[in-house]
Amino acid sequence: KNQVEQSPQSLIILEGKNCTLQCNYTVSPFSNLRWYKQDTGRGPVSLTIMTFSENTKSNGRYTATLDADTKQSSLHITASQLSDSASYICVVSFQTGANNLFFGTGTRLTVIP
C-alpha cells in the first residue's frame, strides 16, 4: 500500500533554533518527493522538490535530504523564525496517473519567542 508517514506529528521550538522533520514513504515507483509549507487555511507552498537521483536540495533556511534506498526524507530548518510556524507536508508522486500525489500526515511546527 502506498503510504507517506511523517514524524513528529507536532513540534514546538524556540525562535532561532534548528529542527528536523522526518518523512518515510512506501510509494513505488516514485517520480519525485516534495516538501510543502502550509499555513492554516491556506494552500500548500512548495519548498523543495527532489527526484530519486537527488540527495539534497536547499531553499534558503530549508534543506531537504532524500535517501531513495531507505525511502526516507528529512527537512531541516535552520535558525527558525516565528513565521516558520505552519504545517509541513511531505508529498510523494507517481510519474503518471491522475491521482498521483500521496500526501503525508504533516508535521505541525510552532516556533515560540
Partner 1 sequence: ETGVTQSPTHLIKTRGQQVTLRCSSQSGHNTVSWYQQALGQGPQFIFQYYREEENGRGNFPPRFSGLQFPNYSSELNVNALELDDSALYLCASSLKIDFLNTEAFFGQGTRLTVV
Among 81, 100, 110, 112, binds partner 1 (CB under 8 A): 100
89 sits near partner 1 (criterion: CB under 8 A): yes
101 sits near partner 1 (criterion: CB under 8 A): yes
Q: What is the largest CA-CA distance in the chain?
A: 44
Q: What is the phi/psi pair of residue 75, to 5°?
A: -125, 120
Cell of 56: 539534497
Which residues in 21-80 contact partner 1 (CB under 8 A)?
A: 31-32, 34, 36, 41-46, 49
Q: Do 75 and 59 form a contact (C-beta atoms < 8 A)? A: no
Indicate whether 94 belongs to the interface with partner 1 (CB under 8 A). Answer: yes
Q: Which amino acid would we find at residue 20? A: T
11 near partner 1, rule: CB under 8 A: no
Q: Does 99 bind partner 1 (CB under 8 A)?
A: yes
> Considering only CA atoms, which of 1, 41, 12 is closest in space to residue 113?
12
Task: Count residues binding partner 1 (CB under 8 A).
Answer: 25
Place of cell 534506498: 69
Tell me which residues touch partner 1 (CB under 8 A).
Answer: 31-32, 34, 36, 41-46, 49, 89, 93-101, 103-106
